[in-house]
Structure formats: C-alpha cells, structure tokens
Structure 1
Amino acid sequence: MLAAERRDHLLGLLTREGKIVAKDVAADLGISEDSVRRDLRDLAAEGLCQRVYGGALPVSPAVVDYAARQAVTPDGKRKVAAVAAALVPPGGAVILDGGTTALAVARALPRDLACTVITHSPTITAALIDHPKAELYLLGGRIFKHSAVACGAAAVEAAQNVSADLCLLGVTGVHAEAGLTTGDAEEAAMKRALAARAADTYVLASSEKIGTASRFRVLPWSEVSGLITDADPDHETVEAVRALGVEIMAAGG
C-alpha cells in the first residue's frame, strides 16, 4: 500500500471508529508499527490527529485561536451555557473558566443574579461589569492570548487562595480514556488549580469536543461532578463517560 493510501486509510479509521490503534493497523495492513507511527506523526504535524500512547485520536477543533473559536458551534455553546448558568445558586460563588463557552455562560447569567464570580479571564469580567449584584474577582498572571486568560505561577497561586461552590470548566477535548484535555501545559495546570478550589466541578463541552483529545490532560473523570454537553446522549463517548459514574447534563433543545 502506497503512503498516500495508508494516509487515507488512517483518516478513514479515525472518522469511522474515533481512534487508531497502531498495532491493529499494522497487523491489518501487514506493515510494521514503526511505519504506522511515522504516518501518525505526519498526520499529527498537519493537525489531522492527536497522537496518544498506542495510536491516535481525533484532534479537537477547539485548539484554534480565540477569535476563530467564537465561530465554532456557537449554537451548541449557547445551549451548554444555558444549562450551566442555571447551576449557579443565588448568593453562591462560582469559579468560571475562560474560553468561548465560559463567555457564553457569563452572558447567560441573569442580570439581577446576586452571586460571586471568580475568574482568570478579563473577557469574562468585562462581560459581567453591568451585572449590578455580581461580585467579581479577577485572578491575575501572565495572559495566555490563545484563550485570553491568566496562567502561570502567579495565577495558580492566586487560585489557591479562593474557594467556591461550583467550578464551570472548559476543555478542548473530552474522551472517556484520554480524559479531559487542553492544548497548553500551563493552561491545564491553571484549570486543575481552579477545579481544586470548588466543591463541584462541571465540564462545559459543546458537541465538537466530544470524542476528541488535545495534548495535555486537565483532570481525571474521578474529579468531575458532571459533563454538560449538547452532544447526542447515545454518542459512544457520552455513554462511556456516563458508565464511569459522571453525571451527564443534556443541553439539547
């Protein structure tokens, strides 16, 4: 099989099965695992897959820059945001992650809701300036422009000095085996720091993130209270996450 044919075969597997297992492909095609791994490296370099131990997973479309992400499934993000916003209790404190789905959550919060919002996102803060009863706490640090959030040691230290009832966390990849992932190591560390300061953590995941993976792991499923998604309830990944004991909050309709 020519290299171009192997490439098409691998991309087809990724589309049909949602993953590539290198040893299985090698056995099916009668080639070495090294050849498969080289092909996967090439595909990953083009942004067509996310390499993981033993093979590859679909790459998340949510790794593009912040401005471009605002155009990715905006309707799905609004549906997820509506469900997430309803979780914020009157008088409660919520840690609101950065990113485009979290921004949709901020915009979905009732303008007269009395609550405390803790965030490391200047855009989230700006979106809530005209909410008269919302107390806003902005955690500072180095600004990671890809997601318009503060990251780094200073931001993580600031996060360790707050606490909240609820953390609404954004990720770029949601996969039963790979877990919750994002594309930057410092951002992943910041997300862990935020989630650790809340009684409950709910993950915001519009459908394009389901079944995909990015390079850096954020949290294991054991540390998550629930997943809010507009993906099909029968989606293989959604069913697998539910089987792990994670509450699935449907954001359809």
Structure 2
Amino acid sequence: MLTVQRKQLILQRLAAEGQIVAKDLAQELGTSEDTIRRDLRELAQAGKLQRVHGGALPASVAVGDLTVREGVSIDEKVALGRAGAAMIQPGQVVILDGGTTALQVARHIDPSLRATLVTHSPNVAVSLAAHPRLEILMLGGRLFRHSMVNVGADVIDAASRLRADLYFMGVTGVHPEAGLSTGDAEEAAVKRALHHRAAETVVLASSEKLLAASPFLVTPLRDVSQVVVPAGTPARTLKALRAGGVKVVTP
C-alpha cells in the first residue's frame, strides 16, 4: 500500500472509529509499527490528528484562533451559551473563560442579574460590561492573542485568591481517555488554576470538540462537574463521554 493510501485509510478509520492503535493497524496492513508511526507523525504535523501513546486520536478543529472559531458551530454555541447563562444564580461568584462559547454565555446573562463575574478575557469583560448589575473582576497577565485571554504567573497568582461557585471552562478537546485539553501549555495551566478555585466546573462543548484531543491536558474528564453538549449529539458519543466518568447533559 502506498503512503498516501495508508494515510487516507488512517484518517478514514479515525473518522469512523475515533482512534488508531499503531500496533493493530501495522499487523492488519502487514507493515511495521515504525511505518505507521511515521505516517501518524506526518499527519500530526499537518494538523490532521493528535498523536497519543500507542496511536492517535482525532485532532480538534477548535485550535484555530478566535477569528476562525467564531465561524464554527455558531448555532450550537448560542444554545450552549444560553444554557450556561441560565445556570448562574444571584449572588454567585462565577469564573468565565475566554473563547467564542464564553462570549455567548456573557451575551445571554439576564440583565437584572446581580453576581460577580471573573474573567481573564478582555473580550468577555467588555461584553459583560453591558450588564450594569454585575461586578466584573479581570485577571491580568500577558495577552495570548490567539485566544484573546491573559496567561502567565500573574493570572495564576490572582486565581489562587479566589473562591468561586462556578467556572465555565473552555477547551478544544473533550475525550474520555485524553481528558480535557487545549492547544497551548500556558493556557492549560491557567485553566487548571481556575478549575481548582471553583466549587463546580462546567464545560460547554460544541460538537467539533467532542471525542477530539489537543496537545496539552487541562484535567481528566471525570474531574469536572458536568459537560454540556449540543442537542442531537449522537448516542454513541454520549455513551463514550459518560464512560469517562462525567455527567453529560444537553441544553
């Protein structure tokens, strides 16, 4: 089998089965594991998959910058944002991550709500400013332009002094084995710090993030309170996520 044919087969299997085990595929095709690993490495470099120990998982298409992500799964993110906003109760301290879904949460908050919203995203803070009864706390640091969020030691230090009721965590990969992941190490560190300062962490995940993985782990799937996924998510996907030990709900 030619290299291009093997790579096409790998991508087809990933789409159909959700993972590749290098040893099994090598045996099936009668080739060496080194050959399969080389194919996986080259496909990973092209952004087509995410390598993991022993094989590969689908790469998240949500790792593009904010401008790119604004055009992905728009209707789903509106519905998820509305669902997230409805979870916020008066008087709570809520951490709102950066990203396009977090912006939808901000836009759907009840204008009469009195609460404290904490964010490390300038875009989210500006959107929240339209709600006159909200107390808005910004965590400052180095601006990571790719996601338009502040990252670094200053953000993590400020997070250490928080006690939040709820954290809406944004990620690019939601996978029962690979956990909750994102594409930047510093951003993942900030998300971990915020997660540890909240009584509950909720992930609002549009469909392109489900059963996909990115390079940097934030936390195992079972460590968050719940994952909210789009209505109409396939039963197979729901079952796989729930097998990761997390509560999965739809709006």
Give distance in 2, aligned partners of 1:163 and 1:227: 21
- 1:14 and 1:57 in contact (8 A); partners too: yes
Shift of 1:233: 4.7
In the superposition, the TM-score normalised over structure 2's length comes to 0.97
Give the direction of change, closer, same or farther, for the CA distance of 1:135–1:121 in structure 2 (3 Å limit): same
Other-structure match for 2:161 = 161
Residues 36 and 209 of structure 1, relative CA distance in 2, 3 Å threshold: same
Pair 130,67 (structure 1): closer, same or farther in 2 beyond 3 Å: same
The equivalent residue for 2:102 is 102
CA–CA distance in 2 between the matches of 1:130 and 1:49?
Answer: 40
For residues 13-32 of structure 1, the aligned pairs below 5 Å read 13-32=13-32
Task: Look up the SS of the partner of 2:98 in the other structure.
Answer: coil
Q: Is 2:207–2:233's contact at 8 Å kept on the other side of the alignment?
A: no
1:108 to 1:227, Cα distance in 2 relative to 1, 3 A: same
Q: Deviations over 1:187-237 (max 9, x none)?
A: 000000011111000111011110100000011123200001106454433
Structure 1 SS opposite 2:87: coil
Which residue of 1 is the match for residue 69 of structure 2?
A: 69
**Partner residue, 1:130:** 130
Q: 1:248, 1:97 → 2: CA distance?
A: 20
Partner of residue 38, structure 2? 38
Extract structure 1 runs of 4+ deviating beyond 6 A.
none
Once the two structures are superposed, residues 39-95 of structure 1 have per-residue CA deviations (whole angstroms, 9 ceiling, x without a partner) of 011111111111111111111111011111000111111111111111111111100
**Corresponding residue of 1:202:** 202
Q: Is the 8 A contact 1:176 1:237 kept in 2?
A: no
- The runs of 5 or more residues in structure 2 that have no matched partner are none
Partners of 1:159 and 1:237 in 2: CA distance: 33
Whether 1:150 and 2:150 are equivalent positions in the alignment is yes
Instruction: Count how many residue pairs are aligned between Structure 1 and Structure 2.
Output: 251
Q: Which runs of 5+ in 1 are unaligned?
A: none
Task: Provide the TM-score with structure 1 as the length reference.
Answer: 0.96
